[in-house]
Amino acid sequence: MPELPEAEVVACQLRVALVGAEVTDCWVGRKDIVREGLSSLPWYAGSVLQQVDRYGKSVALRFVKQRDVRYAVAELGMTGLLLFRSAQTKHPQHVHVRMAFTGGREPEVRYWNPRRFGRFSFFDQSELDQYCARRFGCDPLTVLCDDFLRLITSHRGRLKPLLMHQQSLAGIGNIYANEILFRAGLHPNVMASRLSSTRVEQLYHVTQEVLRSAIACGGSSVKDFFAPDGTEGQFKQHHLVYGKEDQPCPNRCGRMIRRLQSERSAFFCPQCQNPRRWR
């Protein structure tokens, strides 16, 4: 399930392989996978990929043609992938968008998404700006510590849903929320506004460390994440709590990892993330 680190890996590979390449064809299979901008599809042929950015868990490709700029934005949702042609081997019926290139290192990128949670959009500049403003909060990797502190402590609610709330903090999903909370020693249900400044600063640094290590490992391939070139991410080997229900706490505290099913599968150690250790 692609979250921020996986989307970053995707963006990075696309950047290396295709920035500067020219689009020869852009094809959409299922029309209902395209959220907006389907009518602008013909524009993309002849445009050049200028830049690849990541917003939260989405990947935005910026194209230029003469003086015009447009974007193709892939929401990866949970099963969405952007794959080079050679890496897309199974379930061809789930390829919903293809972009063919000339002059790059790869001939084609495909948006593949079996469960179709997530959409693909075509935007001009102002549409992209509106989309981003409405949808994405701060980026956890670039937000300043003071802003993060304000964001956390002014929230009246529980910490884990806040970490995963895209309009507050864009890019963290269930896997990384669980891993971050364990490493920060914070219970998923702690009220965000009750954390001390020191605790929030620790959380800030842990968040960045976890996300950066995951990017360096190529992301987490828990079920079905593959980078555009088809390779799997290795960060799964560094997961400490996600998917580890009933296994001993890696801190060797003697307790077993528990799972709260009602809370979007919160995995945590009842000892090391004990509410009594908050203050």
Report, as residue numbers or ranges, the catalytic residues.
Answer: 2-3, 57, 264
CB of 239 to DNA, least distance (A): 11
Q: Does 1 bind DNA (CB under 7 A)?
A: yes
Among 9, 78, 97, 99, binds DNA (CB under 7 A): 78
Residue 132's Cβ-count burial label (10 Å; 0-12, 13-18, 19+) is: middle
Determine which residue in the list 265, 270, 271, 274 makes contact with DNA, applying CB under 7 A.
265
Options 164, 184, 227, 269; binder of DNA; rule CB under 7 A:
164
174 touching DNA, by CB under 7 A: yes
- Distances 198 to 38, 134, 205, 279 between C-alpha atoms, Å: 48, 31, 11, 10
Q: Does 166 bind DNA (CB under 7 A)?
A: yes
| Host H or E run for residue 54 | strand 48-55
Q: What tokens appear for 232 in the block?
A: 């799997």
Residue 39 tokens read as 């009518």
Exactly one of 49, 100, 175, 200 binds DNA (CB under 7 A); which one?
175
Name beta bridge partners: 65. 68
236 binds DNA (CB under 7 A): no
The yes or no reply on residue 104 touching DNA (CB under 7 A) is no
* Among positions 114, 137, 250, 270, the unique one binding DNA when judged by CB under 7 A: 114
User: Do residues 99 and 72 lie in contact, with contact meaning Cβ atoms separated by under 8 Å?
Assistant: yes
Which of 18, 78 has the CB closer to DNA? 78
Per the structure block, which two tokens stand in for 249? Answer: 């706490």
Kindly state the tokens that stand for 244: 């580890």
In sequence order, which residues have a C-beta less than 8 Å from that of residue 50 and are 6 or more positions away? Answer: 19, 20, 62, 63, 64, 69
Cβ neighbors of 17 (< 8 A, separation 6 or more) are 84, 104, 105, 106, 228
3 binds DNA (CB under 7 A): yes
**Closest CB to DNA among 63 and 71?**
71
Answer yes or no whether residue 155 interacts with DNA by CB under 7 A. yes
Q: Classify 46 as helix, strand or coil.
A: coil
Residues at the site binding DNA, with contacts judged by CB under 7 A: 1, 3, 56-57, 75, 77-79, 90-91, 93-94, 114-118, 135, 155-158, 161-162, 164, 166, 173-175, 224, 261-265
